[in-house]
Structure 1
């Protein structure tokens, strides 16, 4: 994704901060524990924290967490939901924390928006020696037949090239973290995935998909047409046509240690 297009998508979420907070899923606790299992201490930065979806999971696990988020509307939602958390305005490219002040930097569905040429040195600066950098991505589990059908109907704008299981597995190692060849500050990435899920109705799943960046920047007539196709598909499937259902998901994790 070109830089100007990436910035347009990254800045779109604030226009739907309330809906994002209501409809986006949290993260599988087992995935968060795995991301942190070799961290040298318990001080964690949630970077690009959004409305606090990952922050809330960290709090529930008893982690000492600081949240940093650039978008004012998203940050306001986070502060309203998690008032006890220290939540700061800032970005991956300009982290408002002292050198060596955290033991781990985690990013939930956010690291692909970072300009790692700038963010990499900033993350390195705030990490304590041996600290952990980990990206987490919630993805629909397209090994399930109806989920695969939903992704086909929804298209790239709704699902996104990094939001399918296969793209996450194939691309994150090269796209989301500094590699040992390109950046000797970090060791070889490790990756794993963990079962997750979210209770949805057809309407709330449509609302969730509507918070995707590709949908938020789409012209309104095109957006409504895409959401209409998704509604029609969900109405046609016995798994999703009526009442609540479980949306099968995975939380994928890519982690590396600072050398």
Structure 2
């Protein structure tokens, strides 16, 4: 499936995304921000504001940037006081050296880093931090491993499980020394609401309708045998963090200006 088709699929499911996708473990967000020189944070590819909300709860001064109008509408509805702007990682609508950290929740893998890397560097202050965060399923749990097999890669891909996310995300950032860590997380779900959550994955959103319905029926049938009532979905928030060196943090230097 073409990258741009997948990347652009979320707007059609913005309301469901806002309802069903999880937030991010506060401990993971704190670790991502730990080296930042201040509290001004850009949530890049902010979607419906799942990461933005966690950042606000931790006291960050957040600007959210999101390219999809429907996703941005949901973000503004949920978090009306947030400074939320249309834009993307390849053309960030912020001044040079204006933020202490750039965070991306389940979004960094969609960026064209050949273009986005210099843009991110441009808006970071010296010593700033870039971090990608992903909520991943804990496939050390037997029924989660079974769910992965039943669901297929359109619903649960290589970035979506603890076993694979480190390898799948390790090389997304090509400047600075990166660090990875995982933090326990969870989400209260039922068989129906977890099925609805998996239905918001990009691979599922672009799937032909008949195949999509068959996949969701298979997932729901499996879950009715694996879980009962309301349960805590075993997850972790994985973080890929780069502490930007002060002598390379200026986009003007990176561009030779």
TM-score bracket for this pair, using the shorter chain length:
over 0.9
C-alpha deviation, 1:243, in angstroms: 1.4
Q: What residue in structure 2 maps to residue 234 of structure 1?
A: 223
Q: Report if the CA contact (8 A) 2:191-2:220 is conserved.
A: yes
Q: What residue in structure 2 maps to residue 113 of structure 1?
A: 110
C-alpha deviation, 1:164, in angstroms: 1.7
Matched, 1:254 2:240: yes
SS of the counterpart of 1:130? Answer: strand
Query: Per-residue CA shift, 1:90-119, capped at 9, x if unaligned?
Result: 000010000000000000000000000000
Matched, 1:225 2:250: no
- The number of aligned residues is 245
SS of the counterpart of 2:238? Answer: strand
C-alpha deviation, 1:257, in angstroms: 1.4
TM-score by length of 1: 0.93
Q: What residue in structure 2 maps to residue 99 of structure 1?
A: 96
Distance 1:42 1:236 in 2: 46
Flag as ranges the 4+ runs of structure 1 deviating above 3 A: none
C-alpha deviation, 1:122, in angstroms: 0.3
Q: What residue in structure 2 maps to residue 200 of structure 1?
A: 189
C-alpha deviation, 1:160, in angstroms: 1.7
Q: What residue in structure 2 maps to residue 182 of structure 1?
A: none
Superposed, 1:181-196 pairs within 5 Å as 186-196=175-185
SS of the counterpart of 2:158? Answer: coil
Distance 1:158 1:170 in 2: 19
Q: What residue in structure 2 maps to residue 139 of structure 1?
A: 136
C-alpha deviation, 1:171, in angstroms: 2.4
Superposed, 1:144-223 pairs within 5 Å as 144-174=141-171, 176-178=172-174, 186-223=175-212
Q: What residue in structure 2 maps to residue 73 of structure 1?
A: 70
C-alpha deviation, 1:167, in angstroms: 1.9
Distance 1:29 1:161 in 2: 23
Q: What residue in structure 1 maps to residue 28 of structure 2?
A: 31
Distance 2:127 2:231 in 1: 42
Q: What residue in structure 1 maps to residue 255 of structure 2?
A: none
Unmatched runs of 5 consecutive residues or more in structure 2: 246-257
Distance 2:59 2:80 in 1: 15
Q: Report if the CA contact (8 A) 2:187-2:234 is conserved.
A: yes
Q: What residue in structure 2 maps to residue 130 of structure 1?
A: 127
Distance 2:97 2:163 in 1: 35
SS of the counterpart of 2:207? Answer: coil
Unmatched runs of 5 consecutive residues or more in structure 1: 179-185
2:13 maps to which of 8, 16, 19: 16
